[in-house]
Amino acid sequence: MTTILGIETSCDDTAAAVVHDGRVPRSNVVSSQLDLHAQYGGVFPEVASRAHAESISAVVNRAMDEAGMDYEQLDAIAVTQGPGLIGSLLVGINFAKGLALATGAPLLGINHLEGHVYSLLLEPKSADIDFPVVVLIVSGGHSELLLMTSHGEYRRLGGTIDDAAGEAFDKVGRLLGLPFPGGPAIERTAQNGDAKAYRFPIAQTNSPYDFSFSGLKTAVLREVTVQPSGRGQRRRLRGAEKRAQLRDDINIADVAAAFQDAVTEALTRATIRAARHYHCSEILLSGGVSANQTLRHKMREESRLPVRYPPLALCTDNAAMIAAAAHYRFLAGHRSGLDFEARSSWRLSEETYAE
Ligand code: KG4
Ligand code: ZN
């Protein structure tokens, strides 16, 4: 059995968790900075790293207390090494290094996206993954389609060529005057809307496993804002989404539903295409956007394969998923020295943990 402390500070949540065997969270503490960032309509990096620094110690202590653990009982300390905001990552990494030095526990730097993959196993009774599987990771910063052939083995098949899916939800949410983050707000609003009331485009991409959301975002912008006539005015509007004026006759619920339908359809088509082509046994969804019920529903309706997604509370960023991913890395003999560095961008692929 392994007992691993996970620490996650890659974006705007300060999180720590203790997990047994990569499956059973003994504690899972997430201190959200949402209130701090809501006023900016997005995550403000300087504010995020300062807030991490203020709460990291209390969050880790609470995770240890709630798990009823002493540091001597830990097999390893795992921390998100990247991708993410450098200033935020460094707070977690330096804290973890300090703990590792003080306790002598082995240290593992973990890829945040691999954490999202292993959030899928964080239920005591969840069956092991039936490889090969296709994994769709959709969050605020990432939208990746991967082929996973065994634990820790990934091949990138495609992903977004512009905005991440969650980012598209957040931008359109802001445009519609909904609270941040846009994803849950759009999903709520769309419940009273008719997805067929508007027809938004699903972009064609060169690769069948890529998707694109910037054209969709522009289509929504055109549909819902007052369009000025002259050329000069039109140019100004493009760079000024935030100030764009909403048309009075727009039904926000219908727009939200039609937009959500277009995003989830694009994701579903590419994922199912990949699963068929690579003869996968399962479809795995993870990341903040995998909380979306329309995405889950479409994926189940349109594929004959089993579809897995994490428990709702574990779709968005948390540290249990970092500890869960670390369990497999730990068993494979992976260790990070005390001198490893934060990585702001870091794709999940064959080379992920190559020296
Ligand atoms: O995984 P996550 O917490 O952070 C990143 O690693 O980026 O994902 C946050 C993203 C946000 O863009 C948020 O709008 C989106 O996930 N999100 C959703 C839903 N819940 C969160 N998008 C669509 N539907 C949801 N229910
Ligand atoms: Zn994430």
pTM: 0.91
Note down pLDDT in tens along the chain; length 355 residues. 999 999 999 988 999 999 999 999 999 999 987 777 676 666 778 888 999 999 999 999 999 999 999 999 999 999 999 999 999 999 999 999 999 999 999 999 999 999 999 999 998 888 999 999 999 999 998 999 999 999 999 999 999 999 999 999 999 999 999 998 999 999 999 999 999 999 998 999 999 999 999 999 999 999 999 876 655 555 554 554 555 788 988 999 999 999 999 999 999 999 999 999 999 999 999 999 999 999 999 999 999 999 999 999 999 999 999 999 999 999 999 999 999 999 999 999 866 675 4
The fold of the 133-309 domain, in CATH, is Nucleotidyltransferase; domain 5 (3.30.420)
Q: Where are the domains of the chain?
A: 3-123+314-331, 133-309
Mutate to test the pocket of ligand 1, among 139, 178, 322 (most ligand atoms within 8 A of CB): 139
Mutate to test the pocket of ligand 1, among 31, 113, 289 (most ligand atoms within 8 A of CB): 289
CATH code for the domain defined by 3-123+314-331 = 3.30.420.40
Alpha-carbon gap, residue 292 to 79, rounded angstroms:
27
Pocket flag, ligand 1, residue 254 (CB < 6 Å): no
CA nearest to 305, candidates 285, 288, 325: 285
**DSSP of 216-284:** HHHHHHHHHBPPPSSHHHHHHHHTTGGGPPBPTT--HHHHHHHHHHHHHHHHHHHHHHHHHHTT-SEEE
Alpha-carbon gap, residue 315 to 39, rounded angstroms:
24
Q: Which residues contact 239 (CB under 8 A, 6 or more apart)?
A: none
Pocket flag, ligand 1, residue 288 (CB < 6 Å): yes
Q: Which helix (H) or strand (E) holds 15?
A: strand 13-20
Alpha-carbon gap, residue 310 to 123, rounded angstroms:
9
Q: Measured from the CA of 112, which atom of ligand 1 is nearest? A: 6
| Equal CATH topology for 3-123+314-331 and 133-309 | yes
Q: What is the DSSP letter of 139?
A: -
Question: 308 to each of 130, 265, 269, 292, how far by Cα in Å?
Answer: 11, 17, 16, 13
Pocket flag, ligand 1, residue 292 (CB < 6 Å): yes
Distance between Cα 343 and ligand 1 center (Å): 21
